[in-house]
């Protein structure tokens, strides 16, 4: 039941699909200077199948780095150009989150990921300090390493028995366990058990994904939400998750108050409970329990499937590129000498880091960022947008455009200098934006990179893997890029080259 490949069935009927296609093209030209994409029936089927970013890529090659797309009642300007993306992302005051808030409000409430205006400013200021350096180093030792080691132990019998394992599912379980412990010190233990809370998290995540590709937002109509089975299921799931988080907040609040705990240094970590929740409560900010619940849910959702998908696609890319795999494993053996990584080791795992960065370039999560213009504006290149215009920044297109990258479609970790800085939006001038950019950039970018490096270092240290033959690995999407049918690998145990210490004896 943790299989995240089962997208909810679309309720959209074929008749509706046909009528939609008729309304797909904008016939009236406008004075914006933005070319209009002319979508065909095949493209619409692809849109409804959920892999929206694939036709967007095709149209970039046809219409250029900015074009307009009308889909039923919606009309988007699609951007595949770093300079325009930079303009939109940096000018948060002029561009709000728009549609993203609409599709995920049922889950995030007023959480930091979708809040706007002064509420967002206050909550962002409260949340960011919790992800400080000392917190991250504690997470590496106490959560990232432990959870990855548990995964390897769990996989060993499959490795011995030669059983094919769906690694996408395993990585999704791993990252759920990590984010639960890190954000609110809650052990989902999804690697080992099923629980109603885990089911609820997956149901809610799938619903958010489905909503992001539903062209007709029928879930906005309250009465329909009470009778459509998918909506009833989603509402029940959100109730379970919210209740669980509310209980965690209440329990933690009691402890903080009983102990009179108060943050007394910038890099504060409570030794017994180093979670973000504890930090936020000990900081004694004036914040309601509901707001806190929604902020924590924002982080749970934003940090779970994203990091899981990075692990999935990096493993896939390494399985197809044996030279890079050997290089990564040699680096891991040399730097770690058979032990688990520490926070200090991570800066030395330079090649592995570039493999993850290159994977984020080819498979960015989410592949498309959405904004809505708050007023009329002029985009770089003299393109006019009107107030209320929905904009899609296709990160996938920018990352795979031959105008932006040489040999754009190839996996080449070496393209990033090992001795140079780790690429980000600033040092690539928005050519590489897997964590977005500007004021609403991801707050968990360092967390996610550390988590991915640790998980892969431990996995590659102890296991060899091979793609099960005759699998077609294709992409589908919602909030992140998923495989369509899972990523099945045959695993085998690997003896590290130096000072091998069995996990159990550490
Ligand atoms: C926002 C990507 C992991 C928390 C974002 C955005 C992107 C992103 C692209 C900006 C969205 C936009 O501009 O519309 C990723 C990727 C991750 C990852 C690729 C993993 C590899 C995490 C983790 C956390 C997190 C681990 C929490 C610990 C957030 C939050 C926001 C956000 C709270 C909203 C920030 C705001 O609106 O002010 N993420 N993220 N993310 N991310 Fe991440």
CA of 439 to the centre of ligand 1 (A): 12
Residue 320 DSSP SS3: helix
Average pLDDT, the chain: 88
pLDDT at 64 over 90: yes
Q: Kindly state the tokens that stand for 236.
A: 């029940």
Q: What is the arithmetic mean of pLDDT over 350-368?
A: 97
Which atom of ligand 1 is nearest the CA belonging to 437? 13
Which atom of ligand 1 is nearest the CA belonging to 364? 19
CA distance 290 to 297: 10
- Contact partners, residue 429, CB within 8 Å, separation at least 6: 82, 86
Ligand 1: residues with CB < 6 A are 112-113, 124, 298-299, 302-303, 306-307, 310, 365, 369, 434-436, 440, 442-444, 447-448
pTM equals 0.91
CA distance 344 to 16: 56
CA of 440 to the centre of ligand 1 (A): 9
CA of 167 to the centre of ligand 1 (A): 23
Q: Are 26 and 77 in contact (CB under 8 A)?
A: no
Confidence of residue 214 (pLDDT cuts 50, 70, 90): low
CA distance 17 to 26: 17
Beta bridge mates, 164: 490
Going by alpha carbons, the residue nearest to atom 17 of ligand 1 is: 306
DSSP alpha helix (H) spans, 128-266: 133-139, 145-161, 167-184, 196-213, 222-225, 229-258
pLDDT of the residue at 5: 37
Q: Kindly state the tokens that stand for 442.
A: 């991801």
Give the least confident one: 8-22, 198-212, 246-260.
8-22
Give the least confident one: 230-239, 248-257, 362-371, 417-426.
230-239
CA torsion, ordered 12, 18, 19, 20, to nearest 10 deg: 70
Q: What is the arithmetic mean of pLDDT over 419-429?
A: 97
CA distance 387 to 449: 36
Written as one string, the DSSP assignment of 34-62 is --B----HHHHHHHHHT-THHHHHHHHHH
Q: Are 438 and 90 in contact (CB under 8 A)?
A: yes
Q: For a pocket test of ligand 1, which of 304, 442, 456 has the largest count of ligand atoms closer than 8 A to its C-beta?
A: 442
Higher pLDDT, 322 or 215: 322
Confidence of residue 224 (pLDDT cuts 50, 70, 90): low
Q: What is the arithmetic mean of pLDDT over 358-376?
A: 95
Confidence of residue 48 (pLDDT cuts 50, 70, 90): low
Can you tell me the ipTM of this complex? 0.99
Going by alpha carbons, the residue nearest to atom 5 of ligand 1 is: 442
Which atom of ligand 1 is nearest the CA belonging to 439? 38
Q: For a pocket test of ligand 1, which of 302, 307, 455 has the largest count of ligand atoms closer than 8 A to its C-beta?
A: 302
For residue range 99-152, list pLDDT tens digits in order. Answer: 888 888 889 999 999 999 999 999 999 999 999 999 999 999 999 999 999 999
Written as one string, the DSSP assignment of 404-440 is TSTTTTS--GGGS-TTSPPP-TTTTTTS--TT--GGG
CA of 296 to the centre of ligand 1 (A): 13
CA of 115 to the centre of ligand 1 (A): 14
CA distance 372 to 390: 4
Angstrom distances, CA of residue 234 to CA of 99, 100, 200, 221, 261: 19, 17, 8, 14, 37
């Amino acid at each position: 039941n943790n299989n995240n490949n089962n997208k909810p069935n679309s309720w959209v009927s074929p008749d509706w699909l046909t009528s939609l296609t008729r309304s797909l093209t904008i016939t009236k030209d406008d004075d914006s200077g933005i070319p209009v994409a002319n979508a065909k029936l095949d493209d619409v089927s692809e849109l409804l199948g959920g892999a929206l970013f694939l036709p967007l890529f095709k149209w970039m090659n046809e219409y250029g780095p900015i074009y307009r797309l009308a889909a039923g009642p919606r009309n988007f300007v699609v951007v595949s150009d770093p300079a325009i993306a930079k303009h939109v992302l940096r000018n948060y005051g002029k561009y709000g989150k728009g549609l993203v808030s609409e599709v995920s409000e049922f889950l995030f409430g007023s959480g930091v990921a979708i809040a706007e205006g002064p509420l967002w400013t206050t909550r962002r200021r409260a949340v960011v300090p919790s992800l400080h350096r000392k917190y991250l180093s504690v997470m590496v030792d106490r959560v990232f390493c432990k959870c990855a080691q548990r995964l390897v132990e769990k996989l060993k019998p499959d490795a011995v028995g030669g059983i094919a394992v769906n690694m996408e599912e395993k990585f999704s379980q791993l990252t759920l366990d990590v984010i639960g412990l890190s954000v609110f010190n809650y052990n989902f233990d999804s690697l080992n058990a099923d629980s109603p809370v885990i089911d609820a998290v997956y149901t809610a995540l799938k619903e958010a994904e489905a909503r992001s590709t539903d062209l007709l937002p029928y879930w906005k109509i309250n009465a329909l939400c009470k009778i459509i089975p998918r909506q009833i299921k989603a509402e029940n799931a959100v109730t379970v998750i919210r209740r669980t988080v509310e209980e965690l907040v209440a329990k933690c609040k009691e402890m903080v108050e009983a102990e009179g705990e108060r943050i007394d240094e910038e890099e504060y970590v409570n030794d017994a409970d180093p979670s973000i929740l504890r930090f936020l409560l000990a900081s004694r900010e004036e914040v309601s329990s509901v707001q806190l619940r929604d902020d924590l849910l924002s982080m749970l959702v934003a940090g779970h499937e994203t990091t899981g998908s990075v692990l999935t696609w990096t493993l896939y890319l390494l399985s197809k590129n044996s030279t890079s795999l050997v290089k990564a494993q040699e680096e891991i053996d040399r730097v770690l000498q058979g032990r688990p990584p520490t926070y200090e080791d991570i800066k030395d795992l330079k090649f592995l880091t570039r493999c993850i960065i290159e994977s984020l370039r080819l498979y960015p999560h989410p592949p498309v960022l959405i904004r809505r213009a708050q007023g009329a504006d002029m985009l770089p290149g003299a393109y006019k947008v009107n107030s209320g215009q929905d904009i899609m920044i296709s990160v996938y297109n920018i990352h795979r455009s031959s105008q932006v990258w040489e040999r754009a479609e190839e996996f080449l970790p070496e393209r990033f200098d090992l001795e140079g800085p780790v690429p980000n939006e600033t040092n690539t001038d928005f050519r590489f934006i897997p964590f977005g950019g500007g004021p609403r950039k991801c707050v968990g970018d360092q967390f996610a990179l550390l988590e991915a490096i640790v998980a892969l270092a431990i996995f590659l240290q102890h296991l060899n893997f091979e793609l099960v033959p005759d699998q077609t690995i294709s992409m589908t999407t919602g909030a992140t890029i998923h495989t369509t049918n899972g990523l099945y690998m045959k695993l085998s145990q690997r003896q590290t080259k130096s000072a091998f210490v069995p996990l159990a004896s550490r």
